[in-house]
């Protein structure tokens, strides 16, 4: 059994658990095939200059700082919780992990029926959270003395047994379903691609990380976009182009049939559903849309 | 816990159960992201002017009539069973729910060894079905008195315990595997997109429903199609184009290399597998095919 | 219950088990929709001139020889094991079944701590394998007398209970994890599309099999490729094209904006991830990549 | 495929679905081994004078009346819903299906925030329920006109979309979790063992059904009981016996060691946990408890 | 990684797969706790003089002969198939593996519609089976030349593609469901506990195997039996005892209350369900039955 | 949504996760039925003077100290880790959670190939563990400076990425399978039933907890024991009794047939399997064994 993270390679820390599959899919669309075997934490990656390991998102920034890996993907929340903000290089932000691309929030919440109205009302109380350090610092900064206890997994029910919780929420719906009331937001977080400082100073590693960042961003960008092609009568081209979002420059190609041109454009899928009915009414024919792997502007 | 179907939105009823995932996938290809959380019947949809709820397909037309939702997707069979044909607007037919795009049939069936040969032989007998009202009306119209009993789920075995069943079939293979014989078809059904009449009379709701219908049909159309591109020697262009289905007008673009042109065409995937070997033999090179999200002619 | 493999059709044997889903997906990308119902070994295929049956990969070559099916997909290892090499037509090799496209190997292995160093050291010993005939022939050819016992499923543990095993391996990692040492390779294998000899002599069947082979190979080819489009300033076109792999001839199309051209090329996804950062630095804009279904050069 | 419910046997209808496993377990403890094969609704039973079929609990009373089966287990609620109370023989009540042995209730419920306070406030409103007939009769008897709509499966959410529901509850906790308020109880129900009237009049069938009823009740009785044995000093026997529940007559046996007697008694498991500490303090030794299969007083 | 089957222990081969759990349960009731960890074929057993390994039932007799294990549990069919009948010691027969305790049969079967009526009609045909050697010997003994092909897993469908199958059946129901007709039975089989001949000649191993056999048989015997206790008036004791099966001698104990005696008897559970109603009518009270772990007459 | 842990009841903390089912089973055999509904952390318990909540084992001692619950079951390791040893009352030790009843150990382990031989060699290194506080205290007490990092879940792989781990082991087999070497044991742990100090001072709560402890211990005691009954000829009674373990006093009862006595004894199941063959040879007949729920000596 040998060390699978060779120092000859760019060593990459990937989040296991709920983010694992979406991360592997993202790399797949970016051009890297990662395959995980059931019994191993070392995924195979089809680039001989890279190696990878799966850690919990909570741990990754620590192992980047410890130089166990050169770089990794993790949440800003866990970077802050581990106190690693100043000890790593943030290569880029990546919004890929959720149905929506909204950031998540860590909020202080109490039962609907609680008398607590503001953070200061919690002096002397017990608060359960998985984000212990951040919560302690937040209360200390306000000079409100509290006991903060580490709580594994979902804490909703503890808001009722103890006094309050600090819990992760995306839309607030799980908190509402548990009849909890949000007092305030402690931290807003998204996923980050981060590097070890000494790895960042090695030129080939840095270039490789920058390339990966470009490809990952291109793959994320492509997720909410589609390619659209249509045939437009030469006479109505200006009218059609006026519908298209201003920032896009469509590719207009001549066709064999000289009365018509082919127009191709990349659109957000939300725009697409508004535009297609209008384009059709404006005389476009043969409208098709197709999926994209990557969009790099 | 508040009412999630705001009257400010277009309220959409979606079928839960066996159609749920294929319906969500269809909307996805049409440009609408719908996400279902495990414990809620209210999916989230990425359009702030829309809200959605999951019902069983059997119920949706009733809730469209009751004005609980503005529109919904359901089978023609359940519209008829609920007696709602005249109380709703049928926006369009959608053939997306099955491996094949054939309609389903509700058939009257008896055991292979039964003496029953035609519907009239069933006078005085007991028939099990989930489609009670339709079956009763069908026998009443023929003046054949029968007892029709509601039967949950698969009824095949009841054809043997009682006298006959009225059951759903697509290819008849499940009936044959149970050694049942079809006497006749009572009803043929496909999926429909239907609207509440008063919602249909509100202009912004009607336009939105028409747009959704166009996008859904475009997404269904695209499922059995592919885009095909190839490079063709200018000299053989006419010969190649002659192979292509007459109704298609290929997009022919000039190439930098003037002896060649690029030809692009949208094909049904069944045509594609016949055409590609012929195109290759006719001199086409660099033939590629790619998947489509939407095709709007 | 009737015979579902009509002699009017091209009768196709498909491997069940671990290869089943990837084979069906491959045919799907090639343009054939195959649907398997849970309780039947006869998948439906959307071509009325074809019928299909699922067998274990180990059996398929035998049933091709027995004329139960006209053609089938199976591993070269099982063709050899069944002694069918000379009794079938090999239409083509297909590398689709694995994460990597490397062939698999059947290797002779012993425990790390065993005194056995070469095949000849095994005289008089017991060897467990699923590939009994091939192993017997291999040892007989070397005049080393051994007892070869059939072993169901994974044999790793038997290397320790008996004396040696002949086992399938792709990367050797499972053998290493079991502390086994490879003595030598007996057979290297990939998937093959094979035909019955008399079926091959029937013109319409042969043409159909050749077409299927072309489409399957096109679909495999497409798996590791993407389409890439970009806009390039006319002035830098030569520089950009110089980056592209020599064997590729990009499609260059004029654009309405005369200072620019559209360039489209098909790339391997491994090339893509190296090229995109370079193309962008060379002035390309609007770079997108999109997935492919088939690539036929 | 032959008729598996021979009229030479006692034909038994068993509930499929959520009650299926607990019913089979109950028969097992009563002495009848019932085995269900995955693809058949006809379980095998190790008594050649019996045959069995699985139906949904909702249907069983109808098939008892139709003489498809001689007897069956079903809920009182579905007997009432089907209007079969007067057309069947109720052999006995059986409290086996739930964690607790409390009956279930069908209750009328509205959202916590609804203005409805009593049944009469629902005039003109829409009510969703699986128990359509019973609900209609209940409102009709009070002269309150309502629309009652059949609703598949859980209806909690419909209380919020329509006006009220009639839903099954055991402890009310699911209703509370959905913030619903109970207006009144329409029906209280337990499981019943019921017979077809003509089957009941056949002596051997009636005797068999009575024996089955005795054994099923004995098995249910045993579930909440244990056997307890202990050795007690002759001198303290009266004291110990005084602790035991009055209605129980313990079996007192002499022991070889004449200063001691063996005492054996059947207890409810709730009594047991109170008694054991007291018995030990009163000098009992070697206290053991053991599980029971059947208790017939 | 060391050899876990020490020659200091009694090495036991246990069947993996469908028999695994019932075998472990049987040993559990016999007094041996066997625990299987997910990734190992070497179960732990709470007797330091024993070690165990899981093999497929098909292989066990071979490994007993090869002296890999001292003893094992396997089917008589696989002993015969492997040709090991004369090379092992059969310690005892064990009927534990099935819902019923009937032996299984390997039968020759053809499609219902086949012209084949007797074995001799199959001359020159192809037969699929997992029991290749036994089938070949059976046909050879009748001088009927056939091709016998090994078939993995269920062969029902192959009866239709080839000419006949030799398949395992317990009740024949799966064959009937596939519309197959049985021609004749080739082999009847039950589970056997078998030993290696040299292990059997070692006194401590032989005694241990005999003890295990006694305990396993005692555990099997107990499965279909229950203990029954009741209080009987002294005056009716003879009458009650007359009901009990002749071969049983009940334990009659005096009670403190001199008019009554306690009667305890071990019964088969099928007898129990007939007896209990009669005993109750004969005046027995406080009838209880309880489960047994082992019965050794 | 109300507070389900009423202060009128004995509030019990139960471990969720891997111990949950075995804990509920244990209480079941002790006489308390606990039922867990899927979406709630508040199990129902059939004693109106008790209420229960599920927490992770890691948290329970903290919530006992915080007076959220009156008592709970947790591991000694987590009591120590939380620093709660002196702030709670330990009611009793309970060995129920494992296949064997051996305690678990937290051990310091390094890769087989590491140069580290003793704890002191780890100065300046990084150690991963879930038991952070205990590990820090252990190293501090030896004056060896190390960095201890919290690691979620299994840490085996981290022994190879960092320098060492402190991990839980029962038999050491998982460590061996990962090629890790144990340096020393930091802590040995079993499950404990613990109480809040103020709850312990309330007489009715204390009595209830003592009774529960007695019943739980009785249920654990019964798990590895069976009841054995046999008939013995009066003449050989002394001989038979001499076989039985000295500490057991069998219950000897006269039988109606005066030449025989009934002997009943409680045995450990390991003794049973040795004894039964000997008892049978000594003339005992009608030997049966039966399962026990509770044994209180």
Chain F CB within 8 Å of residue A63 CB = yes
Give every CB contact of residue E238 below 8 A, 6+ residues apart in sequence: none
Average pLDDT over residues B186-197: 96
Is there a contact between F273 and E35 if contact means CB atoms under 8 Å apart? no
Is there a contact between F288 and E227 if contact means CB atoms under 8 Å apart? yes
Average pLDDT, chain A: 90
Is there a contact between B214 and A100 if contact means CB atoms under 8 Å apart? no
Chain E CB within 8 Å of residue D49 CB = no
**Least confidently predicted of A60-74, A129-143, C161-175:** C161-175
Asked if residue B107 lies in contact with residue B167, where contact means CB atoms within 8 angstroms, the answer is yes
pLDDT at residue F1, as a whole number: 42
What gap in Å lies between CA F214 and CA D273, rounded to an integer? 9
Is there a contact between D253 and E231 if contact means CB atoms under 8 Å apart? no
- Which residues 98-137 of A have a C-beta within 8 angstroms of B? 99-100
Give D213 to chain B, closest Cα distance, Å. 25
Q: Which of D51, D128, D156, D157 best probes binding to B when mutated, by most B CB atoms within 10 angstroms? A: D157
Cβ count near F197 (within 10 Å): 13
Which residues on chain F are in Cβ contact (under 8 Å) with A162? 66, 68
pLDDT at residue B1, as a whole number: 42
pLDDT confidence tier of residue E201, bands split at 50, 70 and 90: very high
Which residues on chain B are in Cβ contact (under 8 Å) with A102? none
Is there a contact between F273 and E215 if contact means CB atoms under 8 Å apart? yes
pLDDT at residue A131, as a whole number: 95
Dihedral sign, Cα of residue B61, residue B65, residue B68, residue B73? positive
Chain A CB within 8 Å of residue C289 CB = yes
pLDDT at residue D100, as a whole number: 57
Nearest residue on chain D to B11, alpha-carbon basis: D161
Residue C1 in this model has a pLDDT that exceeds 50: no
Nearest residue on chain E to D248, alpha-carbon basis: E286
Nearest residue on chain A to F161, alpha-carbon basis: A68
Which residues on chain F are in Cβ contact (under 8 Å) with E227? 288, 290
Nearest residue on chain B to C289, alpha-carbon basis: B290
Which residues on chain A are in Cβ contact (under 8 Å) with B33? 99, 269
pLDDT at residue C29, as a whole number: 87
Average pLDDT over residues A198-210: 97
Average pLDDT over residues C97-103: 63
Is there a contact between D152 and B58 if contact means CB atoms under 8 Å apart? yes
pLDDT confidence tier of residue F248, bands split at 50, 70 and 90: low
**Least confidently predicted of A60-64, C62-66, E262-266, F201-205:** E262-266
Is there a contact between C287 and A266 if contact means CB atoms under 8 Å apart? no
Run of H or E including B231: strand B225-233
Dihedral sign, Cα of residue C210, residue C214, residue C220, residue C221? positive
- Which residues 245-274 of F have a C-beta within 8 angstroms of E? 253-257, 262, 269-270, 272-274
Nearest residue on chain B to C251, alpha-carbon basis: B255
pLDDT digits (tens, 9 = 90+) for C176-197: 878 899 999 999 999 999 999 9
What gap in Å lies between CA B59 and CA B37, rounded to an integer? 21
Nearest residue on chain E to D289, alpha-carbon basis: E290
Run of H or E including E16: none
- Which residues 141-200 of C have a C-beta within 8 angstroms of E? 149, 151-153, 157, 160-162, 178-179
What gap in Å lies between CA C154 and CA E204, rounded to an integer? 34
pLDDT at residue B248, as a whole number: 61
pLDDT confidence tier of residue F18, bands split at 50, 70 and 90: confident
Is there a contact between D273 and F297 if contact means CB atoms under 8 Å apart? no
Chain F CB within 8 Å of residue A214 CB = no
Chain F CB within 8 Å of residue A36 CB = no
What gap in Å lies between CA E228 and CA E166, rounded to an integer? 45
Q: Which of D27, D31, D263 best probes binding to E when mutated, by most E CB atoms within 10 angstroms? A: D31
Which residues on chain B are in Cβ contact (under 8 Å) with D12? none
E91 vs D41, residue with greater confidence: E91
What gap in Å lies between CA E18 and CA E97, rounded to an integer? 9
pLDDT confidence tier of residue B119, bands split at 50, 70 and 90: very high
Q: Which of D3, D149, D179 is opposite residue B62, by nearest beta carbon?
A: D149
Q: Which of F31, F211, F252 is opposite residue D256, by nearest beta carbon?
A: F252
What gap in Å lies between CA A18 and CA A99, rounded to an integer? 13
Give C83 to chain E, closest Cα distance, Å. 13
C219 vs F98, residue with greater confidence: C219
Length of chain B: 297
Q: Which residues in chain D come in under a pLDDT of 70?
A: 1-3, 38, 97-101, 153-154, 246-248, 256
pLDDT at residue C170, as a whole number: 83
DSSP for E208-222 reads HHHHHHHHHHHHHHH
**Least confidently predicted of E254-263, F157-166, F264-273:** E254-263
Average pLDDT, chain F: 90
Give E36 to chain F, closest Cα distance, Å. 10
Average pLDDT over residues E179-186: 94
Tokens 């209420």 sit on residue: F51
pTM of the model as a whole: 0.84
pLDDT at residue A4, as a whole number: 75
pLDDT at residue D257, as a whole number: 74
Closest CA to A37 of A45, A48, A29: A45
Average pLDDT over residues B20-35: 91
Average pLDDT over residues F26-41: 86
Is there a contact between B160 and D1 if contact means CB atoms under 8 Å apart? yes
pLDDT at residue A1, as a whole number: 42
Beta bridge partners of A12: A52, A71
Give D178 to chain F, closest Cα distance, Å. 10
Give F161 to chain A, closest Cα distance, Å. 7
Which residues on chain C are in Cβ contact (under 8 Å) with E178? 1
Contacts by C119-126 with C-beta closer than 8 Å and gap 24+?
C119/C144, C119/C183, C119/C184, C120/C144, C122/C146, C122/C163, C122/C164, C125/C162, C125/C163, C125/C164, C126/C162, C126/C163, C126/E66
Give every CB contact of residue C154 below 8 A, 6+ residues apart in sequence: C167
pLDDT digits (tens, 9 = 90+) for B126-141: 999 999 999 999 999 9
Average pLDDT over residues B33-57: 89
Beta bridge partners of F22: none
Tokens 């000594």 sit on residue: F282
Give C194 to chain A, closest Cα distance, Å. 30
Which residues on chain E are in Cβ contact (under 8 Å) with F256? 252-254, 261
Q: What are phi and psi of A121, to 5 degrees?
A: -70, -10
Residue E18 in this model has a pLDDT that exceeds 70: yes
pLDDT digits (tens, 9 = 90+) for E219-238: 999 988 999 999 999 999 99
pLDDT at residue E191, as a whole number: 94
Number of H helices, E strands in chain B: 10, 17
Give B253 to chain A, closest Cα distance, Å. 5
Predicted ipTM of the assembly: 0.83
Residue F281 in this model has a pLDDT that exceeds 70: yes
pLDDT at residue B97, as a whole number: 59
Average pLDDT, chain C: 90
Which residues on chain A are in Cβ contact (under 8 Å) with F6? none
Give C168 to chain B, closest Cα distance, Å. 35
Asked if residue E295 lies in contact with residue E268, where contact means CB atoms within 8 angstroms, the answer is no
Give every CB contact of residue F171 below 8 A, 6+ residues apart in sequence: F100, F102
pLDDT confidence tier of residue A100, bands split at 50, 70 and 90: low
Which residues on chain B are in Cβ contact (under 8 Å) with D178? 1
Chain D CB within 8 Å of residue B5 CB = yes
């Amino acid at each position: 059994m040998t060390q699978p993270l060779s120092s000859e390679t760019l060593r990459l820390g990937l989040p296991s658990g709920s983010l694992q599959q979406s991360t592997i899919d993202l790399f797949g669309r970016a051009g890297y095939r990662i395959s995980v075997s059931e019994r191993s934490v070392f995924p195979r990656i089809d680039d001989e200059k890279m190696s990878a390991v799966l850690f919990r998102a909570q741990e990754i920034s620590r192992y980047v700082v410890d130089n166990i890996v050169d770089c990794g993907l993790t949440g800003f929340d866990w970077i802050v919780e581990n106190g690693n903000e100043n000890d790593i290089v943030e290569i880029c932000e990546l919004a890929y992990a959720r149905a929506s691309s909204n950031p998540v929030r860590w909020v202080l919440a109490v039962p609907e029926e609680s008398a607590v109205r503001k953070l200061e009302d919690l002096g002397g109380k017990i608060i359960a959270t998985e984000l212990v350090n951040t919560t302690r610092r937040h209360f200390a900064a306000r000079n409100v003395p509290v006991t903060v206890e580490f709580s594994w997994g979902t804490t909703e029910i503890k808001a009722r047994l103890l006094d309050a919780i600090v819990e992760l929420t995306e839309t607030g719906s799980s908190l509402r379903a548990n009849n909890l009331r949000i007092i305030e937001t402690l931290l807003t977080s998204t996923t980050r691609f981060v590097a070890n400082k000494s790895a960042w100073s090695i030129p080939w590693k840095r270039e490789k990380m920058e390339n990966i960042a470009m490809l990952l961003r291109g793959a994320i960008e492509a997720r909410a976009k589609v390619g659209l092609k249509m045939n437009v009568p030469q006479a109505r081209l200006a009218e059609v182009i006026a519908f298209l979002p201003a920032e896009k420059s469509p590719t207009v190609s001549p066709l064999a049939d000289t009365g018509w041109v082919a127009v191709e454009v990349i659109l957000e899928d939300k725009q697409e559903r508004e535009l297609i009915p209008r384009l059709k009414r404006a005389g476009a024919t043969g409208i098709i849309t197709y999926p994209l792997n990557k969009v790099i502007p």
